[in-house]
Each structure stands twice: as C-alpha cells, then as structure tokens.
A and B are shown apart, each in its own frame.
Chain A
Amino acid sequence: AQSVSQHNHHVILSEAASLELGCNYSYGGTVNLFWYVQYPGQHLQLLLKYFSGDPLVKGIKGFEAEFIKSKFSFNLRKPSVQWSDTAEYFCAVMTSGTYKYIFGTGTRLKVLA
C-alpha cells in the first residue's frame, strides 16, 4: 500500500535556526507532492507543491522543498524560522491519475522566541 512517512513528529527550534522536515513516500510511479501547514486555530493551507519541472520548489513564507526522485523524498526547508512558523506541517502525495491524496502523520513545529 502507498504510504507517506514524516520522521520528525515534534521539532523544537529557536528563532533564526534552520529547518528541515523529512518526507518520504512509497510509490514508484508519477506523483504530485504537497506540503500543507496548519497554524493554531486555522484551516489547513498549501505551503508549496511539486507537479513537474524544477525539483526545487519555493512556496510561501520563505519555505522551499526539494523533490529527489531517486530517494522518494520531498523534504521541506527554511533557512531561518520565525516564531510565527509554529504550526503542524503535513506532507501529502497524490499518485498521478488517482486523485487520491495520502497524507503523512504530520510534524508539530514549535519555534521559541
């Protein structure tokens, strides 16, 4: 069965620290990849996505992610986090043609001011 793994369940960082959240998926075919964020009390919203082309994608609020096909990975990065980045982050995969999304278990990020 297809699955998405987020290895870091809880991450605590100080402001200005660099962030990298891991995401690996198990599917050998064509995929669309997403990172969503859920700020406290708010809707899930899209951070960034990979559909095709340049494997390094940039999203909102300074986030970026790199699709490495050989490693089945789509890690999320930010060079310098802010207190306002405190949220839960979800990686998601949609296998081409299915329109069915598989989400990871999420990573709770807490940024200390």
Chain B
Amino acid sequence: DGGITQSPKYLFRKEGQNVTLSCEQNLNHDAMYWYRQDPGQGLRLIYYSQIVNDFQKGDIAEGYSVSREKKESFPLTVTSAQKNPTAFYLCASRDRGREDTQYFGPGTRLTVL
C-alpha cells in the first residue's frame, strides 16, 4: 500500500530542544515538501527537495533544517532558533507523472512547552 508516513502523530518537546520529524514515502516520487499549517494561515512552505542530496528553502525556512540522503526520506529538524515552533507539520511528495499532483502525509502536531 503506497503512501506517505509521518511519525509520530503528536510530539511534545521542551523549549530550547531540537526535534526531528520523520517523513517517509514509498511512492517513488523524486520531489518532497515540508509545510507548516497554522489556523487561518493555510499551508506555508518550509523546505522542498526536487532530488536526492538537493533541497531549497521555502518561504519560512528560518529555524528549520532538512536533509535528503535517500529518495524515500525527507526529515525535518525544528531547531531551538524557531521562535514559534508549535504547529501542525505536513509532508508531501509530488508525482510528475500526474501533472504535478502533491500527495500528503497525515501530519505531525508538534507542541513545544
């Protein structure tokens, strides 16, 4: 069963700690994306990667970092430099074969205490 998995579903961290959110896909898509979803603000792009070992900053990259060592995986680290990290984080991949449709994971809700 193909899809995108994000773990964990809920994550709690203390202020000042870095935390890494997992995103794995078995859809064989080259491109992957990280978004942040806040009430009333829609989805805002954090980072995206078109291919392994390459990634670009999105609109709100400050305080975040990513890596893309494998096609299947695109982990996001929320660093202590992110001023307002509590949010719902969504990972997606893009299917070039279906007119650039994005497929989304279930999301991780991060709460920083």
Q: Which residues of A contact B (CB under 8 A)?
A: 4, 6, 9, 32, 34, 36, 43-46, 49, 51, 90, 92, 94, 99-106
| Interface pair B102/A105, CB less than 8 Å apart | no
Is B42's beta carbon under 8 Å from chain A? yes
Sample (14) of A-B pairs whose CB atoms are under 8 Å apart: A6-B42, A9-B40, A43-B106, A44-B104, A49-B101, A51-B99, A51-B100, A92-B102, A99-B31, A100-B45, A100-B58, A101-B45, A105-B40, A106-B42
CB distance from B21 to the nearest CB of A (A): 16
Distance between Cα atoms of A102 and B33 in the complex (Å): 12
Known: A44-B104, A100-B48, A103-B42. A32 touches B99 (CB 8 A): yes
Within 8 A of A (CB), among B38-60: 40-45, 48, 50, 56, 58
Q: Is B105 an interface residue when CB atoms closer than 8 A count as contact?
A: yes
Interface positions, chain B 13-53, Cβ under 8 Å from A, are: 31, 33, 35, 40-45, 48, 50
Does any Cβ of A come within 8 Å of B90's Cβ?
yes
A-B contact count, CB below 8 Å?
Answer: 51
CB-contact partner of B90 in A6, A34, A44, A99, under 8 A: A44
Are B42 and A46 interface neighbours, CB within 8 A?
Answer: no
Contact in complex: B42, A34 (CB < 8 Å): no
In the complex, the answer to whether A43 meets B100 with C-beta atoms within 8 Å is no
B1 CB to nearest A CB, Å = 13
Question: Does B94 sit within 8 A of A, measured CB to CB?
Answer: yes
CA A92 to CA B92, docked complex, whole Å: 14
Given the known interface contacts A103-B42, A104-B42, A105-B42, the answer about A34 and B58 at a Cβ–Cβ threshold of 8 Å is no
| B106 contact set on A, CB distance < 8 A | 43
* Nearest neighbor of A6 in chain B, beta-carbon distance: B42
Is A49 in contact with B99, judged by CB distance below 8 angstroms?
A: yes
Residues of A near B58 (CB, < 8 A) are: 100
How far apart are the CA atoms of A102 and B104 in the complex, in Å? Answer: 15
**A101-B42 in contact given A43-B106, A94-B100 (Cβ < 8 Å):** no
Please give 13 more A-B residue pairs, beta carbons under 8 A apart, in addition to A100-B48, A104-B42, A106-B42: A4-B42, A9-B40, A43-B104, A43-B106, A43-B107, A45-B104, A94-B100, A99-B48, A99-B94, A101-B102, A102-B45, A103-B43, A103-B44
